[in-house]
Structure 1
């Protein structure tokens, strides 16, 4: 690997400062936060402004914000994103860490569709497969995605799919009562993660976390699935943390920036 260019590194350091706070900074603030000489800061800001990476903040003399060139670069990056490909890469990283099966899924109506799957290093019988559709309410990824829907949209879909009937049952432990599902989703919204205990497969339990796009909308979910004979409270906590970490990584790849 070649040598890093100090001036370029400093320029990126300056730009990344604008990801925090209200998105505006003055030259003295940049100098203080990066501990740079004032002359160096002036040269960097002048260069970045000349190239439209920074612009003067309207109505705030002496302050700057990100310019249109950063938006153009971000938009081009977003155009090239492939959720399935990015999801598979992150799922692979999570699976390599924990040795369990990892899924990434999206929601369509009241079903989930698996767009990425990395198998466990152990032999495990799973009902899931890339491209397969399953009832969302029976899976951790599905419940996570349903919990991310606006309430009006969720109710519309529930009404259209149940019409007074029970939800589809995949195992004896599947949630089939719409009111029980509503209660489960309310808890998931509070916790920020979802789980399922042998609800889609009598031999498997799962945990899932939400994947968000740059607008903050939940667009997918990432889960880790474990055979029940390896499922303990300690293991659940470990895998929940890994699912959250993986989902956050995928969210960042999609342009989401978590609140600080």
Structure 2
């Protein structure tokens, strides 16, 4: 069955690219997978058409595409991650008195998979199953900041990739880069009124053993509240990363 070898080669390409810190040239992929350069070229072209690979023409390199990222986060959306995160999120709520949630990336959105609501706090839009634009949420920004720049460019190539909820937040690739640079320098992400007026959030990314962001842990509180909560969110995300690894 000719489909089996082709599928095997495609999976080997995905596995190889997933283990690289940056996009790589065609020759390295051809050598790693063990197929001729011409065969690797046609295979990568087909994978790029389906979104599993992105071709950075100016750099003459290939990296993982959005479709590969969605498949990877599909595992994160399964029950194992929610089961691992439930107790740390409950403990975070107990320590801070604020509502916490766990989200994963889904294309340019975040998908909320777990919420622990603090007693007496107002209901949030981040119910389980809700999707929101990643570039506006603290959870999304935390995960985007942990991605390679090439993958962020693939997700947000131009202004048409940006949507707004209340007229706030980055609306261009350059504005998003500035937000993500601040996020990396700070060590956690913030948003203030960009998702829901009057509410703010801080979040940190949960990383797998390859340093890839699989989820974001966040706390939401009244706008103007203290950001002293951020180190606790960072600690909870780090603890969950350690459990995943």
| TM superposition score normalised by structure 2 | 0.65
Q: Following the alignment from structure 1 to structure 2, what is the Cα–Cα distance between the partners of residues 178 and 120? A: 35
| Corresponding residue to 2:190 among 163, 187, 195 | 195
CA offsets, 1:112-168, max 9 Å, x none? 011111012223131111121110011000011111111111101112xx4x43611
Q: Following the alignment from structure 1 to structure 2, what is the Cα–Cα distance between the partners of residues 176 and 127? A: 22
State the shift of 1:178 in Å: 2.6
Q: Indicate yes or no: 2:116 matched with 1:118.
A: yes
CA offsets, 1:160-204, max 9 Å, x none? xx4x43611112323223321111011112222100011101021
Q: Secondary structure at the match of 2:160?
A: coil
| Corresponding residue to 2:164 among 161, 169, 194 | 169
Bigger radius of gyration among the two: 1
Which residue number in structure 1 is paired with residue 220 of structure 2? 225
Q: Secondary structure at the match of 1:200?
A: coil
Which residue number in structure 2 is paired with residue 208 of structure 1? 203
**How many matched pairs?**
168
Which residue number in structure 2 is paired with residue 147 of structure 1? 145
Q: Following the alignment from structure 1 to structure 2, what is the Cα–Cα distance between the partners of residues 205 and 118? A: 16
Which residue number in structure 2 is paired with residue 246 of structure 1? 236
Q: Secondary structure at the match of 1:251?
A: helix
Which residue number in structure 2 is paired with residue 90 of structure 1? 88
Q: Following the alignment from structure 2 to structure 1, what is the Cα–Cα distance between the partners of residues 191 and 148? A: 22
Unaligned segments of structure 2, at least 5 residues: 1-77
Unaligned segments of structure 1, at least 5 residues: 1-79, 256-260
Contact 1:112 1:133 (8 Å CA) reproduced: yes
CA offsets, 1:61-118, max 9 Å, x none? xxxxxxxxxxxxxxxxxxx981111112211110111110101111111110111110
| TM superposition score normalised by structure 1 | 0.61
Alignment of 1:56-135 (within 5 A): 82-135=80-133
Q: Following the alignment from structure 1 to structure 2, what is the Cα–Cα distance between the partners of residues 215 and 81? A: 21
